[in-house]
Amino acid sequence: AELYGVPYWSSGYFRVNDEGKLEVDLPGGLSIVLEEVIEELVARGKSMPIILRFPQVLAERVKSLSEAFRKAIKEYDYQGKYQGVFPIKVNQRRVVVETIAKAGYSYHTGLEAGSKAELALCLAQNIHPEALLCCNGFKDDGFVSLALWGRKLGKNVVITLEKMSELDRVLRLSKELNVKPAVGVRFKLNAKGSGQWEESGGDNAKFGLNAAELLHVVERLREEDMLDALSMIHCHIGSQITDIRRIKVAVREATNVYANLVKAGVPVKYLNVGGGLGVDYDGSKTTFYASMNYTMAEYAADVVYTIQEVCQRMEVQEPIIVSESGRALTAHHSVLVIPVLDVTGPTVDQPFIPDRKEDQHQIVTDLEQLSENITVRNAREVYNDAVADKETMNNLFNLGYLSLHDRARGEALFNGIIRKIAKAVQDMKYVPDELEDLPRVLADKYVCNFSLFQSLPDNWAIDTLFPIIPIHRLDERPTREATLVDITCDSDGKIDKFIDLRDVKRTLPLHVPDGKPYYLGIFLAGAYQDVLGSGHNLFGKVNEAHVVADKEEGYRIELFVRGQKARRMIENMGYEEDDLRDSIEAQIETARKKGHFTQSEAKELGTTYTEELLGYTYLE
């Protein structure tokens, strides 16, 4: 558990049990051993990779956040309340949205839509009548009308103005539909976040109104005698804010905006501090981009305290606090389980060393001599010489001065040398700079049945780190160092950066596969990954199982959702299944006429083709 940092990043939801198996832990002593669920799914004929979703973890996150605010509100005797809003863009999967809506009902947790389609989805959800339905993002008439109809339905819909021109649209349509709007203004804070999404805040931010524009909105509403329509001040300085100080600075600025408006007679009701509550992916509790230097409880306490401090100083009523946390609510609830298919690499392959030939090239003889005498003392020198010799060898080959036989012998000798050096490095007190990269050079490649682009797009696009660990054999010390490669035909489809408490690790310690299935779990990937994933190489959405812990049964697979079939992926690209079949049938007919296909072969190909169209896109 320590080796993979489980106690540090798991927030108490995951644990390695006494049998070395990873389990999900839930309040009330409930737990689920991941391996058992996977074995049951495999026995039922379900194919890997599979996402295991744990709705109870999701519900627990919703509860924890609301309770953290309740506690802080009580502690500081804050005069307003807290209402969370889930921005569904973070994960629109049905089980996610419905679980959050249900778990958050009594806390008046609302939803946030950033597009027309998202609003259509949100309007159909069962949330508390007081819960907010915030409409962010750029809007057209359709978006605004739908939002206004939502108010008429009795939902607490707030239309957040992201740019000035949206005000006229809202005023015009609200008159047309005879609905009184509730408007929020996203304010362009001067404050910036920290971490990968720093540019979401600051003066150059894509969204929001500046101070002059905000005052213009106030004046327009005053002219229309609709000042009370301005009900929310909203800000968002980026996702995954690593440093709590940045949050405090932003909240202070936003509260000053709110307080100034209230003092000027605008009855603003809600102060929305946006998203940004982080996830400690590496467990280091630092301001490193994969971490955060605060807890959920500290976040809630600091937001409440800062708002109160400003309000007391400015002598204005304390607002209802809204936050739009998405990542922090959803990241923990799912685990992607991927099987290791194969292992390749310098420590696995037993290289066949071609025989020494009489007329062997001198460069190969040099490598031979280097390989004979490697000690802790000379390891660095030998390494540098061997790397130089290998480069020379490549040049000689390209110029036609080295035979393929000599090249093969030279490469095998080189691999042997670095393996011996790696052994020597283990006995060194101080590892010279040149040799620090050696574990990576020597790392094995574990080929895993998944697509990075479909399942972990943020790792590929922006280097987001996720905890990855075997879900079993954790009572055995792993003996290999590895990087992971996926099954796409893209060399970018690899993972070679892993979480570490002090740094980023370039390799992952793994076990030698022992003939039985060896599964890795990818954790904390429940936010953004499900919805940003793409169908590179036509690998589609993966199978998923919704698993619930149960006192009597241990666990229950509530629902199995099939991943996308090949046919769906192909049709997404504009093809029709019938056209594909027609084309294959025509080709079979031509081949049959030429005598290349018998009747039964034609039938067999037809069956295979259908099976593949209806099949899972991953290796089975």
Binding-site residues, in ranges, read: 271-281
Cα gap 335→35, rounded to integer Å: 12
Helix spans in 124-164 (H):
141-152
Per-residue b or e along 193-213, where b marks 16 or more CB atoms closer than 10 Å to that residue's CB: bbbbbbebbeeebebbbeeeb
- What gap in Å lies between CA 239 and CA 220, rounded to an integer? 32
Site string for ligand PLP, 345-384 (x = CB under 6 A): ----------------------------------------
- Determine contact, residues 434/380, Cβ cutoff 8 Å: yes
- State the Cα–Cα distance between residues 298 and 68, nearest whole angstrom: 8
Other C-beta atoms within 10 Å of 2: how many?
Answer: 9
Tell me, by CB under 6 A, how many residues bind ligand PLP: 15
Q: Which of 145, 156, 174, 325 binds ligand PLP (CB under 6 A)?
A: 325
Decide if residue 524 touches ligand PLP (CB under 6 A).
Answer: no
Q: How many CA atoms lie within 13 A of 78 on its CB side?
A: 27
CB of 254 to ligand PLP, least distance (A): 13
Residue nearest to ligand PLP (CB): 275
CB of 207 to ligand PLP, least distance (A): 7
Residue ranges of the binding site for substrate: 271-281
Kindly state whether residue 324 participates in binding ligand PLP, applying the rule CB under 6 A.
Answer: yes
Candidates 84, 110, 150, 274; binder of ligand PLP (CB under 6 A) is 274
User: With respect to ligand PLP, which residue has the nearer C-beta, 332 or 420?
Assistant: 332
Active site residues: 489
Residues 385 and 389: their CA atoms lie apart, in Å, by 6
CA dihedral 569, 570, 573, 575 (to 10 degrees): -150
Instruction: Tally helices (H) and strands (E) across the chain.
Output: 21, 21
**Three state DSSP letters for 500-527:** CCCCCECCEEECCCCCCCCEEEECCCCC
Beta bridge mates, 545: 52, 560
Hunting for tokens 């010279």 — which residue is that?
Answer: 432
Shortest Å, Cβ 266 to ligand PLP:
22
Task: Pick the closer one to ligand PLP by CB: 327 or 407.
Answer: 327
Q: How far is the CB of 197 from ligand PLP (least distance, A)?
A: 6
Instruction: Show Cβ contacts of residue 368 under 8 Å, excluding neighbours closer than 6 positions.
Output: 356, 413
Strand, helix or coil at 464?
coil
Confirm or reject binding of residue 188 to ligand PLP (CB under 6 A).
no
Quote the distance between the C-alpha of residue 312 and its chain's center: 39
**To the nearest whole angstrom, how small is the minimum distance from the Cβ of residue 112 to ligand PLP?**
6
* Residue in 275, 470, 521, 533 binding ligand PLP, rule: CB under 6 A: 275
Q: Return d(Cα 16, Cα 20) in angstroms, integer.
A: 6
- Tell me, residue by residue from 65 to 104, as one string, x for binding to ligand PLP by CB under 6 A and - for no binding: ----------------------x--x--------------
DSSP E strands, 416-540: 444-448, 468-470, 480-485, 494-495, 508-510, 519-522
Q: How far is the CB of 11 from ligand PLP (least distance, A)?
A: 15
From the CB of 292, what's the least distance to ligand PLP, in Å? Answer: 11
Nearest residue (CB) to ligand PLP, 34 versus 328: 328
- Closer to ligand PLP by Cβ: residue 444 or 458: 458
* Smallest gap from residue 162 Cβ to ligand PLP (A): 9
Give the interface segment with ligand PLP, choosing from 252-260, 310-318, 326-334, 376-384 (CB under 6 A).
326-334
Per-residue DSSP letter, 565? B
Which C-beta is closer to ligand PLP: that of 324 or that of 486? Answer: 324
Whether residue 484 contacts residue 468, with contact meaning beta carbons closer than 8 Å, is answered with: yes
Q: Which of residues 231-270 bind ligand PLP (CB under 6 A)?
A: 236, 239-240
207 or 616: CB nearest ligand PLP: 207
How many Cα atoms occupy the beta-carbon half-sphere of 479 within 13 Å?
7
Residues that bind ligand PLP (CB under 6 A): 87, 90, 136, 236, 239-240, 274-277, 324-328
